[in-house]
Structure 1
Amino acid sequence: MKLILLLKQYALTKWNGQRWKSREDLEAWQNARVRAFLEETRRRSPFYARLFEGLPLDNWREWPTIDKTAMMDAFDELNTAGITKDEALQAALQAERERDFSPELNGVTVGLSSGTSGNRGLFIVSAEERAAWAGAALAKALPGSLLRKHRIAFFLRADSNLYQTVRSRRIRFSFFDMIRPVPEHIEQLGWLQPTLLIAPPSMLRLLAEAKQRGELAIAPDKIISVAEVLEPVDRQVIELAFRTRVHQIYQCTEGFLGATCKHGTLHLNEDIAVIQREYVDAERRTFMPVITDFSRASQPIIRYRLNDLLTLRDEPCPCGSVFTAVESVSGRTDDLFFGRSMDGGRDVPVFPDFIRRAVMMASDGIAEYKVIQRDRERLEVSVRTKEGVPDVIGPLRRELAGIFAQHGCRAPEIMFTPYSFRPGLTKLRRIERAYAVEPDLTARDGWIGRT
C-alpha cells in the first residue's frame, strides 16, 4: 500500500507539471483541492473549527493567519492524529538524546525542528504522508529515473523515518549524522561513492575543500543544498570543487515547499501547497510565504505565515513551468538588520541581501564570513580570507557603513573578531540579528502587503 502510494506520487510529481498550461489552470485546480481539504479539516481539527467557524470557503485566501507560536500553543487541538504536545515533545527529545530516530508514536513520525530562530517546533507525519512525501521528493531530487540504482548520502542534524522512507532495493539511503567528526564522514563517503549528495551548504563547503585537498574522491551526479541559506561565497567553492551545479530543496517543519528544476531555478511546490505572498518589499519582489498545504492532514498547515524572506525571480524560467520561480531564499525576518535613522527617530530595516552584497563588494578574497548585529548600533564581523589576500578590514568596514548610509541610517560601530565555525547540530547563519525587536517591526503596517 505504501509503495503504491509512493509510486503514484512520484508519477504525479514527475509529470503533473505538464498538465497545467497556465497559472489560471493551476490556481483553479488548487482552489478545488483546498476547498475540499478545508471542509474536511474543519470537521477533524477542533482548533481550526473554532478559528474558521462560519467563514465562507470562497474567501479562504483571506482567512486569519497563524504562525509557529500559535501552532505550538494549539498543538493538541490542531493535529488530527490524537497526539498531545507533551507526548510528541518527549518522543522527539528522546530520539535527539539517543540519536535513534526510528521509533514512532501511534504509527506517526514525530520530529523536532532545529529552532534556528530560537523557537523550536514539532512536526508529525503519518505513514501515508511519509510515502507521498517520499514520492514527491524522489521525483524532484533524483538524478535520473527511479528505475536506476542510486546511492544517496544525506547529511542533516537529525534523521527521521520521513527520510528513510526513500530506501528501497534500488535506492541505497545513507544518513550522515552531522554530530560526527568530518574525517569520519570523508572516509564513509569514499566507501559509499554517492550518486546523490544532500547536505547543508556549510557541510558541502567542508567536503568541497576536502576534495580540493585531495582527501575526498567522490563525483556525485547531483548535489543538493538543504537546511541553510546557500550563499554565493559557498556556492562558488562547492561548484568549482565538484564541477557540477548545486541544486536546492526548500523544506522546513511546515512542509516540502520548493525544489530546483534542471536549470537550477528554485520553483515553489504548488502541486502540494498554495503559497501566498506577503510582501515586505514589493519593489525588490521580497515576500514572506503564507502556506496552505493541502497534502498534509495529520498536522494541517493552513494560512500559516512563515518568517522566511523569498525574492521572486525577475524573468521566466527556461523550463517553462507555471510554478512560481524564486530568485533566492535570502534568510528570515529574524535576520533583518535595523539601522537607526539619522535623526534617531525611527528604525530602518536593512535586508540580508544588502549585507551579503557589501561583503562581496569589499573583496573577492573573502572565503568565509559572518556578520552579526548585536544591537541597533553595533555589528560584529568575522572573516576568513584566501591565502595571500591583503587586509580586507578597511574595505569591508567602508562597504558596510555605506549600506547603512544608503538607507539613511547612522553608521554602526563595527567590531572584527576571528572567524570560526564548527559543523554539527547548529546551522550556519552568515547573517544574523542577535537581539530581539519589540514590538516586531517586521509586522508594522505600511511595509508589508499581501498578494
Structure 2
Amino acid sequence: MKPSKLTLLRYYALTRHRSWRSRESLERWQEARIVRHLSRVRLASAFYRDHWGERAVTDWRTFPPIDKKLMMERFDELNTAGIRKERALETALAAERTRNFQPMLGDITVGLSSGTSGSRGLFLVGPHERMAWAGAVLAKVLPRSLLHGERIAFFLRADSNLYGTVRGGRLQFQFHDLLEPMDRHIARLEKDKPTMLVAPPSVLRMLAEVALNGCLRILPRRIVSVAEVLDPLDRLYIERAFGQMVHQIYQCTEGFLAATCPHGTLHLNEDIVCIQKEYIDAGQRTFVPIITDFSRFTQPIVRYRLNDLLTERSEPCSCGSPMTAIEAVEGRCDDLFELPSMRDAGATVPVFPDLLSRAVICASPYIEEYKLIQVGPDRLELALRIAGHAVRETVETSAIRSLADLCGKLGCRMPFVALVPYAHEPDSRKLRRVERRWGR
C-alpha cells in the first residue's frame, strides 16, 4: 500500500505519546525491533549478507562495523531498491546544479551530503520512510500540536523531497537556499513572519545580529539549530537576540540522531536508532557513535561508525526521558587536535574541540566570534571577531594565554599561534569553529 499523510500522522502520534518506564524497558523494545529489522535486511541486501557471514542476527552487536567509505564503495549491493550509485549520483548532482530538488528515482528520494569530511555521501529514502521521518521530526520539533499549524522558515544548502514531505495542511514550509544573498532572505522573513526558524547556527547568528540592529522584526515561537555544531558563544548570542532558548536537531546522511526535549537537552533518538558508544575518553564521557537505524530499509544503516565526537551528560535530564542525554556534539574526530607532548619526546596529546572552544570563549567577554585551526604539528591559526570598544591586543593576548593554560593542564607543548583576520559568509560550506587541517 502506498504510504499517505495518514502514515505521517501515525508516526507523529507514536513519537509524541510512546514512553518507557525505564532504560531497561527501552532497550528490550529496541532489541526486538532491531532483530526483526535485520532479519529483513539480510534477505534484501547482498552486501550485508556477505558482510555478516553466518552470524545470527541476535549477535548484531558484534557485526563488523562499516563507514562512509565502505558504504559508498558497496552502494549498489547495500541498498535494497536496486539503485546504482552512478544513477543516484547523477540525479543528486543535477539537483545541485539546477537547484531543483524535486526529481526522484521512481518513488525514492535521493540526496547528497555536504561532504565536510572530504568525501560526499549519497542517501536513499523510500516513501514509507519519508513519511515516518516527517512524523517523528514534527513530533520532536514543533513547539505546539500539529493542529496549530506553523510557518516554518528552513535554511539549508539543499532542499529535498524529504523535507518537502512536511509541507501541506496547516504547515507552511518555506525553503531558504543558502546560496541566495542574505538581504533576500531578510525580505522574505519580514513578509512571511515565520513562527519557526530552522537554520545552521552560523546563519542564526547572522539573523540575530540583524534582529538586534532592528532590521529584522520577527517573533518566532521556536528556533532550531541544524547542520553545524552549536557553539556556546553563538547559542548565547542567538538566545539574547530572540529571547528564547535555541533547540537543536542532530541529523546527518546516516539518520535523524538526536533532538532537544522541552528542557533544551539534546537526547539521542533511541526510538529510531540504536547508538553504541566507542569511548575515546571514558573519563570525559566522550565517544564516537556507532549507529544502527531500525527505521531505514531502502539504504540500511547497520553498525555504521560516524566520524563525530559526542559527550554524554553526567546527570540525567530533568524531563525524565530514558533516552541518552548529550552534553555536546563536539565536532568531527578529524578535528581532534594533536599537540606535542611535554613529557614524551615524539608523542602527541589529543585535545578535544570542546576544550579548545571553551578556552577561547572564556578568555574574554569581548570575543564575539572565532575560528581556531591547526595548520601544522606545532602551529595554530586564531581568528577573532572582537567587540568594537575592546582593545584587540589585550583580547588576543588573553585568548593565547588561555590556550597556553589549557596546554599546561593537558601536558602538551604550547604551539605557535598566528593571528589571522576573521571572516565567514554563510554558503554551502558548514562553519567549523575548531578545525584541524594538518595531518589528515
1:8-407 map, 5 Å: 8-16=10-18, 18=19, 20-342=20-342, 343-391=344-392, 392-407=395-410
Deviation at 1:361, TM superposition (A): 2.4
What CA distance in whole angstroms lies between the structure 2 residues aligned with 1:411 and 1:326?
30
Q: Secondary structure at the residue paired with 1:387? A: coil
Partner of 2:413: 410
What's the counterpart of residue 428 of structure 1? 431
Deviates most, 238-247 or 393-402: 393-402
Moved more, 384-393 or 206-215: 384-393
Distance 1:172 1:57 in 2: 43
Using the TM superposition, give the Cα deviation of residue 376 of structure 1 relative to its aligned residue in structure 2, in angstroms: 1.4
> For structure 2, which runs of at least 5 residues remain unmatched after alignment?
none
The aligned amino acid for 1:267 is: H
Percent identity between the aligned chains?
A: 57
Say if 2:6 is the partner of 1:4: yes
The SS at the match of 1:362 is coil
Shift of 1:286: 0.5
Give how far 1:406 is off: 2.2
Secondary structure of the corresponding residue to residue 421 of structure 1: coil
Partner of 1:449: none
Tell me the alpha carbon deviations over residues 69-97 of structure 1, each in whole angstroms, 9 at most, x when there is no partner. Answer: 11111101000011111111111111001
Question: 2: CA distance between counterparts of 1:180 and 1:360?
Answer: 30
Deviation at 1:98, TM superposition (A): 0.5
| CA deviations over 1:130-162 (Å, ceiling 9, x no partner) | 111000010011110111121000000000000
> How far apart are the structure 2 equivalents of 1:2 and 1:259?
25
State the AA in 2 paired with 1:149: G
What one-letter code is carried by the residue in structure 2 that aligns with 1:393?
A: E
Instruction: Pick which of 50-59 and 147-156 moved more.
Output: 50-59
- 1:244 partner SS: coil
Instruction: Show CA shifts across 1:335-362 (max 9, x none).
Output: 1000011243212110001111110221
AA in 1 matched with 2:60: W
Superposed displacement of residue 389, structure 1: 1.3
CA distance in 1, matches of 2:63, 2:149: 45
Q: Scaled by the length of structure 2, what TM-score is found?
A: 0.98
Task: State the 1:252 CA deviation.
Answer: 0.3
Letter paired with 1:378: R
Q: C-alpha displacement at 1:435, in angstroms?
A: 2.1
One-letter identity of the residue aligned with 1:371: L
Separation in 2, partners of 1:112, 1:149: 29
Take 2:11 and 2:58, find their aligned partners in 1: how far apart are those partners? 28
How far did 1:395 drift? 1.2
Q: Which runs of 4+ in 1 moved over 6 A?
A: none
Q: Distance in 2 between matches of 1:127 and 1:206?
A: 35
Name the Cα RMSD after superposition: 0.9
Q: How many angstroms apart in 1 are the aligned matches of 2:183 and 2:324?
A: 40
1:111 offset after TM fit, Å? Answer: 0.6
Structure 1 residue identity aligned to 2:408: A
Q: Secondary structure at the match of 1:236?
A: helix
Unmatched runs of 5 consecutive residues or more in structure 1: 438-451
**How many residues in Structure 1 have an aligned counterpart in Structure 2?**
435
Instruction: Tell me how far apart the structure 1 counterparts of residues 257 and 439 of structure 2 sit (CA, whole Å).
Output: 27
Distance in 2, matches of 1:206 and 1:138, equals 25
| Secondary structure in 2 matching 1:26 | helix
Structure 1 residue 322 displacement after superposition? 0.8
Partner secondary structure for residue 349 of structure 2: strand
